[in-house]
Amino acid sequence: MRRRDFLALASASALACSAHAQQSARQRRIGIVLPGWDGTKINPVEAEFLDGLVRHGYVEGRNLIVDRYAAMGSMDRFADLAATVVGNHPEVIVTGAPPMTLALKAATQTIPIVTVIGDPVALGLVSSLARPGGNVTGITVDAGAELSGKRLSLLRETRPDATRLAYLSSSQAMQQPQAAMAKQAAEELKLSFLHVDLGNSLNERAYKAAYDSVVKVGAELLLVSDEPQHLPNSKVLVGIATNAQIPAMYPFRDLVVAGGLMAYYRDLFDAFRQVADQAAQILDGGNPAEMPFRQPTSFKFSISTKAAREIGITIPPTLLASADEVIE
């Protein structure tokens, strides 16, 4: 190769490397708005998500700006929060739960949204799980009616003669498909279904009022809705069942760690690892309209023998044997 040709090739290669380095160093921006979590702190599942982005080459403080928002308090404020998030023009929004996701979808039809949610088709967010067709994709944490049935069948084993089930949820959650599925599952088990309404502000006052309602209706079992807004109030929430001396089924492992009896749930750490994969794919140029929602292939079951003693029940050995985790 002649010296002139060699120099020309070396120069072109250097320019290509420089362009790639500039692209890698370009600051990207994402927004994280997770209901039930204080946006000023990095919670464990968010940390899992950020670790996942690192594996794809996106590192906060180096080539990634992360805007965090606290979706706390009244759900009536979610529309205003969504407008704030969208107004900051992130390239991807990471969120979860129907109220916040619906508010964000209403605020933008162009910014990609990756959400962790129950049934996005039933909620009208997407046209299908395989081909969402809009700006929303993500991870489902619901297996439909089967999930409600499984939760109630496990819970029923702790008190086989129970006939009255209290379903604890916000007013908005009661209007969503999961509530209808829970009611159907209760009817199939010959359980009367009693809604205990938390309103749309999930705070300590609402949970204390809910305890009075649970006692008043004479509930023998308690099923808690799949709302992450429960998490900041975990202690007062699990106190409802403990003080009422009734078995309760929760949607998140964290609520068993906080003193609850049992939870049958999708592994959120695994879910947010997959959220990171999807967010990175979008940052790399992927189209959320063509990115299938990822569905759960397994669920985990955690149970606390300490909580059982506090409630005053004996957990059947077969139920303990079926648990993935027993908290002493």
Half-sphere exposure of 240 (CA within 13 A, CB side): 35
320 confidence band (pLDDT: 50, 70, 90)? very high
Q: Which structure tokens are listed for 315?
A: 């957990």
The per-residue pLDDT for range 245-255, each reduced to its tens digit, is 999 999 999 99
What percent of the chain is predicted at pLDDT more than 90?
80
State mean pLDDT over 144-164: 94
Find the helix or strand (DSSP H, E) in which 283 lies. Answer: helix 268-283
State mean pLDDT over 182-197: 96
Q: Which CATH superfamily is domain 27-142+267-290 in?
A: Response regulator (3.40.50.2300)
Position 272 scores a pLDDT of 96
pTM: 0.87
Position 66 scores a pLDDT of 97
Q: Where are the domains of the chain?
A: 27-142+267-290, 145-265+299-327
The per-residue pLDDT for range 110-136, each reduced to its tens digit, is 999 999 998 899 889 999 999 999 999
Q: How far apart are CA 243 and CA 211, in angstroms?
A: 8
**Maximum CA extent, the chain:** 93
Position 25 scores a pLDDT of 63
State mean pLDDT over 178-205: 95
Position 17 scores a pLDDT of 45
Give yes or no for a contact between 65 and 100, defined as CB atoms under 8 angstroms apart: no
Q: Where are the beta strands (DSSP E) in 127-183?
A: 136-140, 164-169
145 confidence band (pLDDT: 50, 70, 90)? confident
Side chain identity at residue 259, one-letter code = G
Between 316 and 146, the higher pLDDT residue: 316
Position 21 scores a pLDDT of 46
Q: How far apart are CA 180 and CA 121, in angstroms?
A: 15
Compute φ and ψ for 14, nearest 5 degrees. -65, -40
Position 42 scores a pLDDT of 79
Position 6 scores a pLDDT of 46
CATH ID of 145-265+299-327, from 3.30.70.60, 3.40.50.300, 3.40.50.970, 3.40.50.2300: 3.40.50.2300
DSSP secondary structure of 1-70: --HHHHHHHHHHHHHHHHHHHHHHHSPEEEEEE-TTS-TTS--HHHHHHHHHHHHTT--BTTTEEEEEE-
Burial class from Cβ neighbours inside 10 Å (0-12, 13-18, 19+) for residue 119 reads buried
Average pLDDT, the chain: 91
The per-residue pLDDT for range 18-70, each reduced to its tens digit, is 434 444 568 999 999 998 877 667 788 999 999 999 999 999 999 999 999 98
Q: Do domains 27-142+267-290 and 145-265+299-327 have the same CATH topology?
A: yes
State mean pLDDT over 208-214: 97
If we measure between CA atoms, which residue out of 271, 283, 327, 277 comes closest to residue 45? 271
State mean pLDDT over 312-319: 96
Other Cβ atoms within 10 Å of 246 Cβ, number: 26
